[in-house]
Amino acid sequence: MREHGMSEVAISQFKHLYDVWRNDEGSTCIRERDVEPLTGVQSFHDIYETIDHDKAVDAFAKTAFLKLNGGLGTSMGLDCAKSLLPVRRHKAKQMRFIDIIIGQVLTARTRLGVELPLTLMNSFRTSKDTMKVLHHNRKFHQESIPMEIVQHVEPKIDLATGEPVSFPQNPDLEWCPPGHGDLYSTIWESGLLDKLEEHGFKYLFISNSDNLGARPSRTLAQYFENSGAPFMVEVARRTEADRKGGHIVRDRRTGRLMLREMSQVAPEDKKDAQNIDKHPYFNTNSIWVRVDALKALLAEHDGVLPLPVILNHKTVDPTDSSTTPVLQLETAMGAAIGLFEGAICVQVDRMRFLPVKTTDDLFIMRSDRFHLTDSYEMEDGNYIFPNVTLDPRYYKNIHDFDERFPYNVPSLAAANSVTIEGDWTFGRDVVLFADAKLEDTGEARYVPNGEYVGPQGVEPDDWI
């Protein structure tokens, strides 16, 4: 790592992760008997009724905005930052994630008269392209607070030897990011917290760049200030679709809140952990933290927080399962909730959790279910979306996806669910309704312009 010019903080963090794994401390499960369910979380609606919204601008004026932007979107076949992926058109202009994020920030600055600095945590792979967008946006200006910090990288571990993996065909693939928990040591090393304090910012709101619902909020800024809490996680009510995700629990022994990922659940506890009535809230990965509290905690640990280690098993070339099996040692940003005495959660609606992890998600985001407002909000009627399953052989890769929807995706307004099996290309103005399904016929097929697709596939023209 030193030979590659990496900092002592990056090396210390990797050493911590490696030692935890080597000593078999990282495999410790968070047992069901040792935790209590999180219940009775204050909801955004209740908070909204009690907040003085004129006063809330004062708390908002002390808030900075940080977006995690290190992902390349490799799961969708992208070779650039996922935030550069077009989401939908707005007034005839193609809008990418990054354009919508900038629009949200500029809207808040203009309407509320706040500075609201935006910082991106980029990776070495996303920095150049993303910063080019920020610098070329004529309306976006920022001088006092850095517009980016760059996350660390670490060696992938050869699972058979415990040593750094060797991959001469593409040495770049020998390295990986240490998960989004790396945010904290990157913030520490960058000096961002000092800059924020120097310019009077007290709160930092952090979220993923692929979650367009995680907009700056003066209501939540005021609630966070009023609470006096050092750390706050936005949680949402789990549905069956969320039962395998990370959820917040309370440690019976200490009373502190904890993030429990499914990888930390013992096999015999999985039924309880996936019970959405027993554990009703999941982590949206949007957090609020007090700058002074985070600075003090990082100073106490020399910039490397003792977060639980996540073991991510992959192959050195993630697109080729025949290459060397490796281990990526990672941490989760939300796990820091367990390190702050007095940390809290706030329940938010689905309108604040609109992640795009796959082309199935993008299918919904580009559909008529959404309207992108002039204030850059992704607006929908109820934010309860149809379950979409697209055949991964033909739709997982974004280039294949775009090729099969040359005129935009079909209408979803009347659809309960969508299942597309096989290779289908869609014409203009196609409408999906009820439990729409297209079956694999063993050859490439076409849905003509203006057709309706329902439970029986493409509806026949001869209506009875």
Distances (CA, A) of 189 to 152, 193, 303, 319: 10, 9, 7, 32
Per-residue model confidence (pLDDT) at position 71: 84
* pLDDT (0 to 100) of residue 28: 66
The span from the CA of 124 to the CA of 175, in Å, is 11
d(CA 322, CA 75) in angstroms, rounded, equals 18
**Token digits for 423?**
């290779």
Q: What is the pLDDT of residue 464?
A: 47
What pLDDT was estimated at residue 25? 60
Burial of 93 from C-beta contacts in 10 A (0-12 / 13-18 / 19+)? exposed
d(CA 112, CA 107): 8
What letters, b where the CB count within 10 A reaches 16 and e where it falls short, cover 178-217?
bbbbbbbbbbbbbebbebbeeeebbbbbbbbbbbbbbbbb
The tens place of each residue's pLDDT in the chain, 464 residues long, gives 999 999 999 999 999 999 999 887 655 688 999 999 998 899 999 999 988 888 899 999 999 999 999 887 777 888 788 999 999 988 889 999 999 999 999 999 999 999 999 999 999 889 999 999 999 999 999 999 999 999 999 999 999 999 999 999 999 999 998 989 999 999 999 999 999 999 999 999 999 999 999 999 999 999 999 999 999 999 999 988 788 888 999 999 999 999 998 888 989 999 999 999 999 999 999 999 999 999 999 999 999 999 989 888 999 998 788 999 999 999 999 999 999 999 999 999 999 999 999 999 999 999 999 999 999 999 998 898 999 999 999 999 999 999 999 999 999 999 999 999 999 999 999 999 999 999 999 999 999 999 999 999 998 866 54
Could you give phi then psi for residue 298, rounded to 5 degrees? -65, -40
Q: How far is CA 429 from CA 229, 242, 422, 448, 453, in A?
A: 50, 32, 20, 9, 11
Cα three-residue angle 88-91-96, rounded to 5 degrees:
30
Q: Please, what is the angle between helix 53-60 and helix 97-112, to 10°?
A: 120
Identify which of 299, 310, 175, 197 has the alpha carbon closest to the alpha carbon of residue 246: 310
Name the β-bridge partners of 436. 418
Strand-pair partners of 88: 95
- Tell me the β-bridge partners of 431: 411, 452
Which uninterrupted H or E stretch holds 220?
helix 218-227
Q: Which of 169, 230, 140, 191 is nearest to 9 (CA)?
A: 191
Does the predicted TM-score (pTM) go above 0.85?
Answer: yes
Tell me the residue ranges of DSSP E strands in 138-230: 148-150, 154-155, 157-158, 175-176, 203-208
